[in-house]
Amino acid sequence: MLAKIEQLLQEVENITASNADELEALRIKYLSKKGAINALMADFRNVPAEQKKEVGMKLNELKNRAQERIAELKDAFDSKDTGAAELDLTRTAYPIELGTRHPLNIVRNEIIDIFGRMGFTIADGPEVEDDWHVFSSMNFAEDHPARDMQDTFFIESHPDIILRTHTSSVQSRVMEVSQPPIRVICPGRVYRNEAISYRAHCFFHQVEGLYIDKNVSFTDLKQVLLQFAQEMFGPETKIRLRPSYFPFTEPSAEMDISCDICGGKGCAFCKYTGWVEILGCGMVDPAVLEANGIDSKVYTGYAFGMGVERITNLKYKVKDLRMFSENDTRFLKEFESAN
């Protein structure tokens, strides 16, 4: 019996397991009710009385060593397991998919391209702005409703600092540091305090344009916008200008394009009018030129501004504005081929 115990002790010292199943098999082999050690325990009854002490001690040693060895091997697994627990199971399975350009960027780039070919350069400015560049320099009266808390995000402790509500602020910044001829477009993100729904968000993207020179007329504006509409929506596209009001332009207009779903016949998309609105525009109000250091007796100019979301909705028939900011890759991947 002693020899048998010695042999098992040797065996137990050398056990190895390369996975949890193997380890469990070892536990069953040595330590379970029907295991080798229990079998020896059962035989212990038959050990002659004078050997009982020695055999008993050896048997206990064997049992302890077996338990220790199994625990050691288990520890080795557990420390490997911590590595496994750090695995990010939400990660995309290999191979990691390539990203695609965001639909708003695709359309913004297209707008920039079209105006770039007509000689417009890009101007940029801060999203956190002051009242002067967003409103005052743009001829907004002191009590104009657009300054109201409902539309504009203010910084509580600094009522003069706001999130820009349009990129006209960039036009103001361009005018204050340069003299005509000025021909710029101002793409960028703007913020308005609106309840988020399928048709409004608290931020969106604009491209505004400004052209100032001698003898710039409304005809120039109309031609540039027609060219833009036909490049963006197809050569058959017609435009229509409706009188409107903006504090910074006089006269002001809103531009519609012929509905490209029904070809102008009238459908649910254009609310049976045959037209859909795409932008605001007008001749720069002389008061704006003067406020920004440009002589309104010498120069005239036009300005226009459009929402990139709106243009993207029309081009790709996206019904819910929120899709643009939810980062749902199933939606974003639909624009892969437009890249």
Residues near ligand PHE (CB under 6 A): 166, 168, 208, 246, 249, 280-282, 303-305
Residue nearest to ligand PHE (CB): 305
Nearer to ligand PHE, 255 or 318 (CB): 255
Nearer to ligand PHE, 7 or 121 (CB): 121
Give the shortest CB-317-to-ligand PHE separation in angstroms.
23
Count of C-beta atoms within a 10 Å radius of residue 265: 11
Nearer to ligand PHE, 30 or 302 (CB): 302
Alpha-carbon distance of 79 to 73, in angstroms, equals 10
Give the shortest CB-289-to-ligand PHE separation in angstroms.
14
Helix (H, G, I), strand (E, B) or coil at 167: coil
Give the shortest CB-246-to-ligand PHE separation in angstroms.
5
Q: 176: annotated binding-site residue?
A: no
Written as one letter, the residue type at 158 is H
Q: With beta carbons less than 8 A apart as the criterion, state whether 139 and 248 touch.
A: yes
Nearer to ligand PHE, 281 or 311 (CB): 281
Report the sign of the C-alpha dihedral through residues 20, 22, 25, 31, in that order: negative
Residues in contact with 195: Cβ distance below 8 Å, sequence separation at least 6, in sequence order: none
Nearest by Cα to 246 from 144, 175, 143, 160: 144
Nearer to ligand PHE, 172 or 258 (CB): 172
Give me the residues paired with residue 254 across strands.
Answer: 242, 280
For the sheet with 158-163, list strands across it: 128-130, 158-163, 154-155
Q: With beta carbons less than 8 A apart as the criterion, state whether 62 and 5 touch.
A: yes
Give the shortest CB-263-to-ligand PHE separation in angstroms.
27
Give the shortest CB-304-to-ligand PHE separation in angstroms.
5
- Measured over all CA atoms, what is the biggest interatomic distance in the chain, rounded to whole angstroms? 125
Binding residues for Mg(2+): 250
Binding residues: 250
